[in-house]
Amino acid sequence: MQESESGYIGNVADDSGIGAGITDVEIISVSGTNIIARGRRFGRYWLLKGIIPELRESLSARRGLQKEFELHSRLLHPNIVRVTALEDIPSLGICIVEEWVEGETLASILRNGQLSKRDRMRILREILSAVGYLHSMGVVHRDLKPQNIMVRKHGGEALLIDFGLADSGDYAELKQSAGTLGYISPEQFTGGGSRITDDIYSLGVIMKELCPEYSRIANRCIAPLDRRPKDTSFLLRMLDRADRRPKLVAWGIAATVLAAVVASVALHVRSVSAETEEAQVKIDTLTNSNTRNAARIAELEDLLNLATARLTTTRAVVSASTSDRGLRRRALVDAYRRLENEYISFDSHQMPHFADNGDIFVDSISALEDRCDLIARQSYDLKRFPELLYVDSTVMVGEMRSLAVQLLSVYFSVWQAQLERKRLAAQDISNR
């Protein structure tokens, strides 16, 4: 990781949490305020974000770290790195503990030119999905840039990281201007606070670097406030319209070609029918007039049979063109059935056994999320259904992923409720 250039423009201003159990701690990087390290617990790597020794007793630095944890811990989305705890780590002090992502930053990947056009468009939509969810939870990131977006080594999914400058309307302190030069909105230099439009501006700069083909939309994002898209859902609709424009041209050409083919087939069918009628008339005439023409009659009967066979084949080709739609419907039903089976299995075999073990629960939820994501991607694999357009596949996969995320949030809430009931029961017993 590189030392971050981002930070508060002004002063920062509390407390922390406690915990233990991290071993094999190794420091990854040190910035002007924070230490980034990696540690092990129960056979897994975890990323640790703490405060440099010179500032560990600073009330403002501790409050800033706790605010980052409180805002980050609200979030559960497949494209946002997960945070699990705020702990006191030996030799590091108070640290945020979050999942370790094996991969590279988007900035590094863009420098090396490793992404295809399809991957760039997919990553952009994943970023927009994560930022849209962030805003729906009342949080503004305020430091969106390629250095704060990780891309997994296996799977290639994009994840938002580093919520050190994030803000929410329910916080009364640490409201000063923040961001990284080149990505920060002009309003942050004078206003501070947290606005969705600040993130929209940063998304526009990222879009210029990641998908230059969307430069017109990117220019809208970095335009003055009155012309800037109001949220990510509006931005996604703009992308959809831009994606459909070349496809509409292609569809128009395809429709023209299809119309020509259909007209040709219809003309061919009429021609075959005319040949059939003509052959039948000749057969009747020859049969009634002279039996000595029996050989000619047999020849015409063969012609009639051949014409009938050609007509049958042509009709079969036309009817086969409508079969693809049923195949897609069956794939959709099968995908939802597979998702339902995953959740039924999780409810009956795993959910009753979590008790208060957070690590096992996080691992189980993560594994369930990976299985659901695999089902979503396999259900609309373009190699299996080449007739699907890429944008259609992306939208349908996004809908299934969104459904999975909502259900995973429910499991997370149920588990937290179980822990709270146990804590209250234990407190009641001790009071007696």
- For 191-224, how does the pLDDT look when each residue is reduced to its tens digit (9 = 90+)? 767 789 999 999 999 999 999 999 999 999 999 9
Q: Which pLDDT score, from 0 to 100, does residue 313 have?
A: 61
**Is pLDDT of 189 > 90?**
no
Mean pLDDT over residues 329-358, rounded? Answer: 73
Average pLDDT, the chain: 80
**CA pair distance 293, 360, nearest whole angstrom:** 91
Q: Give the pLDDT confidence of 264-276 residue by residue, as tens digits.
A: 766 776 777 777 7
Q: Percent of the chain scored above 90 by pLDDT?
A: 42
Q: Which pLDDT score, from 0 to 100, does residue 192 have?
A: 66
